[in-house]
Chain A
Amino acid sequence: MPIELTLNGEAITLDIDPRTPLLDVLRDRHGLTGAKAVCREGFCGACTVHIDGQAVPSCLRPIGLLQGCSIVTVEGLAPPGTLNRVQQAFIDHDVVQCGMCFPGMVMTLTDFLDREPTPTRDQIKAALVGNICRCTGYERIIDAVLSLQAEGVA
């Protein structure tokens, strides 16, 4: 049965093995390589996307379960040429190092801030249990997120 869903605002139809992980559909069929295949087990969070507004690792979502869903990847998070506030905060605070985890970080924290606009430091850390970073040691990521509140834009 063809799978119909919305990808970054565009209706698409897929007629493929329904067990195909969403991650592979994004990277191999649609050239959307922002989601990274790092652990493929749901622990690292580098492949996180939004499914109906919720941040989930795309490696663990078979495409057949996504009938009628709206998928947003890091490429579709903000209009071309613009950044969302989490992305801007990461740039402003010089947070990025190798960068492989950041698309997933952005997706997780964007969803998190929508639900929890004024989090504490510990709440942000708890929200990142499924997003591992090997380079930065995290604290500056937290600082960047907290700065959004200080600016009153969260």
Chain B
Amino acid sequence: MNRPTDPRTVVMNLPRRDALDKVTGRTRYTSDLGAGVLHAAILRSTVASARILRMDFSPALAMKGVRAIAQASDAPGLFGIGIADHPLLNGSRIRFKGEPLAAIAADTLEIARAAAAAVIVETEPLPAVMTMADALSPDAPIIHPDWKSYELLREGGIRGGNVAWEARVSRGDTDAAFARPDIIIIEDCFQVGRQNQLPFEPRCAVASYEDGRYHIHTSTQVPWTVRAVTAKALGVSPSRVRVTVPAVGGGFGLKFDCTIEPIAAVLAQKTGRTVSLVHSREEENLTCLCRENAEVRIRSAVTAEGEIAGREATVLMDCGAYGGEQVFLTTMTAHTLGGNYKLGSVRLNSRAVYTNTPPNGAFRACNGVYNTFFLERHTDNIARAIGMHPLELRRRAVLGDGDIGATGQVFLGDVLRPMLDRMAAFRDRTPDQRDRADGRLYGRATTVGTWFIFVGPSSATVNLNADGSATLVTSGVEIGSGTMVQALPQIVAATLGLSPDEVIVKAADTDAAGRDLGVGGGRATVSIGAASKMAAERVRDQILNIAAEMLQAQPEDLILTKGRVEIADRPGTGMAITSAIARAEALHGPVSGNGNFTAPGVAALPGCAAGHFIEAIDIPVFAVHDCEVAVDPDTGHVEVLSYKVVQDVGLALNPRAVHSQIQGGVVQGLGYALHEKISIGPDGALEQPGFEQYLVPLAGDVVPVEIDLYEGAPSIGPLGTKGAGEVPILNVGATVACAVSRAIGRDVSELPLTPPTVLALIQGRTDRMDHPHIAAEWTENLLGAEVPPRSPAKSRPTH
């Protein structure tokens, strides 16, 4: 029942919140839009590791047209995911070359850049570590001497020195497994470099300060994260920050974190003007929050029948100067490197390691991409060691219904094995491309991969308008994946019997829609879709109840279709939905419904996982990829001859759009596998500032991906959907690497497979990969263990 509101709590002489801007001439009417935007530039460090002794802004402030400077004291505090270790603007200790120290707003971008260059920055050099091997050395300088005092945003991580976060899995007795007389041990080391997301639109934000609130217009995947981080940085209530997001020119995970938005907000507040902050291509590339470089040592105890009795691995993930996304991503090693296969026992250690290099971030399927490469190449080596065909080994070993994963979660349904069967049939009905190798070395491989849908909170409101259209209000963002323009209007339209054209989808505005975790991790169609479906169903139920009275029928006998309410099986007997809406409005007012969703939580085995953000995955997603390659033995150039994907999609709401995501994701993976190389110079800076140095696939580099959508695997997503946009990149590096390895008859242990790398392998100039800084004894890599200083890996019987 409704509790009456006491009028005395409502009555007051509340002053107008818009008065300040109105009397200062700052209120922006439509006729004012587009005028008077200031431009901002960021002052960045020119060294990787140093103490800042003095910053003198007076030469910049003296320049005509400079309007404001934002510095560390304007956005105090530390930020992060898991650990708050990252200042927005650094005024004390520089930890990577290119680190933002201050930002300047001026009348033109040229003035802002000139002013930034005029600031005097005096520093004292500090020792730096550019590689994880150096960072883990016992005598390494500690990049965050105050690491113990940092606020923990998530409990449970194991931390220490240059190890930002350690996530461990321990299930069963691997010591016993490796001691079994009937097994052989296969041990491998692998590594990968970084990958730049390279969305065409760089990170950028336009901020204004209106009626005492910050309004940030930004290119982001996570409006609510931007809202929260900006509020924390500025020391204001989150309710003082509004984030709106127009069309986003590509994200791929790069924009899954708040980065430059609070800086623009500070400058807007200081100047009272609208401030535009847009990364140049060079600064965007050189400070890109890449997919991290990583290294692994993995070993498995396997029987001649292909039973994996035990598996141990240590993964090093370079988080760069600050923990960021990598702290969270340590979690995903359990579900990717620890995924795909039935394991009798398993111990995994995933370590995010600080270095004096630019911080890394999230990129489509994140560490799943390289963990799948590590795992699938290792699986091929196991098959070779036990003399079993690699496809047969996979068929026997993949997870099936009721099997438990690394952390003890129970997987439902046989999915990977039937997907392997589908791929076998796909291969059988498609002629191979061996002839096109034409004298070059030919190889082919099929791999499997496990990823997940990153669920979590979403909300939605559906307003049913008097004209029979519906307005969907969410915090979703259209980053190019099509969720906001295809999947969501399809779901709402189907629920309300409308055409998708009649569903208006409002772009994200944190003032209009409820909280949301963001668009990424394959979650939008699932999480926002589920909330939208619930909201639409609540609207539908209201309309059916009203219509039932009008038609003297039972609500359960009515359906909504083609803009009408009809009695089921009796088309034409009902009425236009607008008639029911009009009646509802007359009786109760306009019709709307709300929906919400969050992660249901799936159980893991207690005690298996430590330091994990997600102990079990709510919606697993599986992929089977197949690739044919031809390798030129004289140049090392790899040509992809064919590429096939069988992808677990649950239900494909828009098969054509899903195909489009798979083609695009596979091609990004081909770039990762073959030529998207990022190197780090002796100064700790990335060496690929532009498109000339960083080679993304061109039209001539790609092939049409042949696609078979696997539907019907269990999913809690609305209508049984799973996210389809993130996973296509998952096992591309793995599949190309396995195919190249088979073509050239050599172990492929690193990506990307550039021609010089492949040629060195063919010519036998590459040593077997080893990571001396990852101890062969798994326990010696744990924080708190007695770590032997940089000893070479112990020799043990391996294949």
A binds B: yes
Counting from the closest, the 5 A-B pairs by CB-CB distance are A98-B480, A137-B667, A100-B200, A43-B691, A97-B480
CA distance A122 to B702 in the complex (A): 11
**A19 contacts the other chain (CB 8 A):** no
Are B691's CB and A97's CB within 8 A?
no
**B631 contacts the other chain (CB 8 A):** no
Are A39's CB and B664's CB within 8 A?
no
CB contact between A137 and one of B481, B656, B657, B705 (< 8 Å): that residue: B705
Distance (Å) between the CB of B236 and the closest chain A CB? 32
Chain A proximity mask over B648-669: 1 for CB below 8 Å, otherwise 0? 0000000011001001111110
Are A138's CB and B699's CB within 8 A?
yes
Q: Which residues of A contact B481 (CB under 8 A)?
A: 97
Chain A proximity mask over B677-705: 1 for CB below 8 Å, otherwise 0? 00000000000001110001111101111
Please list 25 pairs of residues, one from A and one from B, whose beta carbons are closer than 8 Å in the complex, sorted by A's number: A36-B201, A38-B200, A38-B281, A39-B281, A39-B690, A40-B281, A94-B657, A97-B482, A98-B201, A98-B248, A98-B249, A98-B480, A100-B250, A125-B700, A132-B691, A132-B698, A133-B699, A134-B199, A136-B663, A136-B667, A137-B663, A138-B667, A138-B697, A139-B702, A139-B705
- The A38-56 residues at the B interface (CB cut-off 8 A) are 38-41, 43-44, 46
CA distance A97 to B247 in the complex (A): 11
Q: Which residues of B contact A139 (CB under 8 A)?
A: 663, 702-705
Are B250's CB and A135's CB within 8 A?
yes
Are A99's CB and B480's CB within 8 A?
yes
**B738 contacts the other chain (CB 8 A):** no
B contact patch SS: loop
Q: Which residues of B contact A43 (CB under 8 A)?
A: 690-692
CA distance A134 to B252 in the complex (A): 10
Chain A proximity mask over B477-488: 1 for CB below 8 Å, otherwise 0? 001111000000
**A142 contacts the other chain (CB 8 A):** yes
CB contact between B663 and one of A46, A128, A140 (< 8 Å): that residue: A140
**A141 contacts the other chain (CB 8 A):** yes
Q: Which residues of A contact B705 (CB under 8 A)?
A: 137, 139
Identity of the chain B residue whose Cβ is nearest the Cβ of A101 in the assembled complex = B200
Identity of the chain A residue whose Cβ is nearest the Cβ of B662 in the assembled complex = A137
**A23 contacts the other chain (CB 8 A):** no
**Knowing A125-B699, A125-B700 touch, does A98 contact B250 (C-beta < 8 A)?**
yes
Q: Which residues of B contact A128 (CB under 8 A)?
A: 698-700
Q: Which residues of B contact A98 (CB under 8 A)?
A: 199-201, 247-251, 479-480
Distance (Å) between the CB of B341 and the closest chain A CB? 29
CA distance A41 to B697 in the complex (A): 17
**A153 contacts the other chain (CB 8 A):** no
Q: Which residues of B contact A46 (CB under 8 A)?
A: 200
Distance (Å) between the CB of B399 and the closest chain A CB? 29
Identity of the chain A residue whose Cβ is nearest the Cβ of B249 in the assembled complex = A100
Chain A proximity mask over B497-539: 1 for CB below 8 Å, otherwise 0? 0000000000000000000000000000000000000000000
Are A138's CB and B702's CB within 8 A?
yes
Chain A proximity mask over B345-369: 1 for CB below 8 Å, otherwise 0? 0000000000000000000000000
CA distance A142 to B704 in the complex (A): 10
CB contact between B247 and one of A99, A129, A138 (< 8 Å): that residue: A99
Are B198's CB and A134's CB within 8 A?
yes
Are A137's CB and B702's CB within 8 A?
yes
**Knowing A98-B249, A99-B249, A100-B200 touch, does A135 contact B698 (C-beta < 8 A)?**
no
CA distance A135 to B201 in the complex (A): 12
Distance (Å) between the CB of B254 and the closest chain A CB? 11
A contact patch SS: loop
Q: A39-B281, A136-B664 are in contact. List 5 more A-B contacts (CB 8 A).
A: A41-B690, A94-B656, A99-B247, A122-B700, A134-B696
Number of chain A residues close to chain B: CB under 8 A: 33
Are B666's CB and A137's CB within 8 A?
yes
Are B696's CB and A132's CB within 8 A?
yes
Which of A125, A132, A138 has the most chain B CB within a 10 Å cutoff? A138
Distance (Å) between the CB of B520 and the closest chain A CB? 14
Q: Which residues of B contact A140 (CB under 8 A)?
A: 660, 663
CA distance A41 to B689 in the complex (A): 11
**Knowing A97-B480, A99-B247 touch, does A134 contact B200 (C-beta < 8 A)?**
yes
**Knowing A39-B690, A41-B690, A100-B249 touch, does A135 contact B699 (C-beta < 8 A)?**
no
Q: Which residues of A contact B690 (CB under 8 A)?
A: 39, 41, 43
CA distance A28 to B289 in the complex (A): 29
Q: Which residues of A contact B252 (CB under 8 A)?
A: 134
Q: Which residues of A contact B666 (CB under 8 A)?
A: 137
Are A141's CB and B699's CB within 8 A?
yes
Distance (Å) between the CB of B524 and the closest chain A CB? 14
Q: Which residues of A contact B281 (CB under 8 A)?
A: 38-41
CB contact between B700 and one of A99, A129, A133, A136 (< 8 Å): that residue: A129
**A150 contacts the other chain (CB 8 A):** no
Q: Which residues of B contact A41 (CB under 8 A)?
A: 281, 690-692
Distance (Å) between the CB of B484 and the closest chain A CB? 12
- The B280-310 residues at the A interface (CB cut-off 8 A) are 280-281
Chain B proximity mask over A74-95: 1 for CB below 8 Å, otherwise 0? 0000000000000000000011
Distance (Å) between the CB of A80 and the closest chain B CB? 20
Are B480's CB and A39's CB within 8 A?
no
CA distance A142 to B698 in the complex (A): 12
Are A36's CB and B200's CB within 8 A?
yes
CA distance A36 to B281 in the complex (A): 12
**A1 contacts the other chain (CB 8 A):** no
Are A126's CB and B700's CB within 8 A?
yes
Q: Which residues of A contact B668 (CB under 8 A)?
A: 134, 137
Chain B proximity mask over A24-44: 1 for CB below 8 Å, otherwise 0? 000000000000101111011
CA distance A97 to B666 in the complex (A): 15
CA distance A101 to B710 in the complex (A): 31
**A71 contacts the other chain (CB 8 A):** no
**A124 contacts the other chain (CB 8 A):** yes
Q: Which residues of A contact B249 (CB under 8 A)?
A: 36, 98-100
CA distance A128 to B699 in the complex (A): 6
- The A96-154 residues at the B interface (CB cut-off 8 A) are 97-101, 122, 124-126, 128-129, 131-142
CA distance A101 to B664 in the complex (A): 14
Are A44's CB and B200's CB within 8 A?
yes
CA distance A75 to B703 in the complex (A): 32
Distance (Å) between the CB of A127 and the closest chain B CB? 8
Q: Which residues of B contact A100 (CB under 8 A)?
A: 199-201, 249-250
Q: Which residues of A contact B480 (CB under 8 A)?
A: 97-99, 135
Distance (Å) between the CB of B249 and the closest chain A CB? 4
Q: Which residues of A contact B667 (CB under 8 A)?
A: 136-138
CA distance A20 to B123 in the complex (A): 36
- The B159-204 residues at the A interface (CB cut-off 8 A) are 198-201
Identity of the chain A residue whose Cβ is nearest the Cβ of B656 in the assembled complex = A94
CA distance A120 to B352 in the complex (A): 48
CA distance A100 to B480 in the complex (A): 9
Distance (Å) between the CB of B328 and the closest chain A CB? 24
CA distance A99 to B484 in the complex (A): 14
CA distance A124 to B698 in the complex (A): 12
Chain A proximity mask over B702-732: 1 for CB below 8 Å, otherwise 0? 1111000000000000000000000000000
CA distance A97 to B658 in the complex (A): 11
Are B696's CB and A129's CB within 8 A?
no
Identity of the chain B residue whose Cβ is nearest the Cβ of A142 in the assembled complex = B699
Distance (Å) between the CB of A76 and the closest chain B CB? 21
CA distance A52 to B691 in the complex (A): 27
Q: Which residues of A contact B703 (CB under 8 A)?
A: 139
CA distance A92 to B208 in the complex (A): 39
Identity of the chain A residue whose Cβ is nearest the Cβ of B703 in the assembled complex = A139
Q: Which residues of A contact B201 (CB under 8 A)?
A: 36, 38, 98, 100
Distance (Å) between the CB of B613 and the closest chain A CB? 28
Distance (Å) between the CB of A66 and the closest chain B CB? 22
CA distance A132 to B676 in the complex (A): 14
Distance (Å) between the CB of B702 and the closest chain A CB? 5
Q: Which residues of B contact A44 (CB under 8 A)?
A: 200, 691
Q: Which residues of A contact B247 (CB under 8 A)?
A: 98-99
CA distance A129 to B705 in the complex (A): 20
CA distance A46 to B696 in the complex (A): 15
